[in-house]
Amino acid sequence: MTVGKIESAAVAAGHRLALRWDDGRQAEVDFEPIIASHPVLAPLRESRAFRQARLADDGWSVEWACGIDFGAPQLRRWADEQAGEIMAAAAFRDWMTRHRLTLDGAAEALGLARRTIAYYLSGERPVPKTVMLATVGYDHRQAA
């Protein structure tokens, strides 16, 4: 799926951005956990600084006066992760670690190519909802 431009971006309650993409998708992205897990984003902890978010003139990113910016694809990925539409790469890695799976082991368990697993782990490709659900199924099978 190709992610297009952002048509609108507005600061919502707390550290949230309300976004609308040119394909009609609307979502809020909660930046609290993102800021907490990335020390370089510390300037955005202050509400005043966060409220300075603005959509770039070309619509391809959201920018802050402190020099931080995020592109439309990354914002869409966070929106989809937070909505449960895709699985975060870190969550996928945690699933593999919990089950002591190698790339080959995860590929076999999920019926995917080893290269696909590598793409998911690197974050180069988002982990789709079907794979996220398969990991849940695998968890239940292992527990039984």
Instruction: Answer yes or no: CATH 3.30.2020.10 is held by domain 6-82.
Output: yes
The CATH architecture that domain 86-143 belongs to is Orthogonal Bundle (1.10)
Contact yes or no for 32/25 (Cβ under 8 A): no
In this prediction, residue 93 carries a pLDDT of: 96
Bin 59: left if φ > 0, else alpha if -120 < ψ < 50, else beta.
left
Q: For the whole model, what pTM was predicted? A: 0.81
In this prediction, residue 2 carries a pLDDT of: 67
64-109 pLDDT, tens digit each: 999 999 999 999 999 999 999 999 999 999 999 999 999 999 999 9
In this prediction, residue 120 carries a pLDDT of: 95
Domain boundaries, the chain: 6-82, 86-143
- Report the amino acid identity of residue 86: I
Contacts of 126 (CB under 8 A, 6+ apart): 77, 80, 81, 86, 87, 120
Helix (H) or strand (E) holding 3: none
Contact yes or no for 46/59 (Cβ under 8 A): no
Structure tokens at 56: 């770039």
Extended beta strands in the chain, E state: 6-11, 16-21, 26-30, 54-55, 61-63, 69-71, 86-87, 127-128
- Confidence class for position 54, pLDDT limits 50, 70, 90: very high
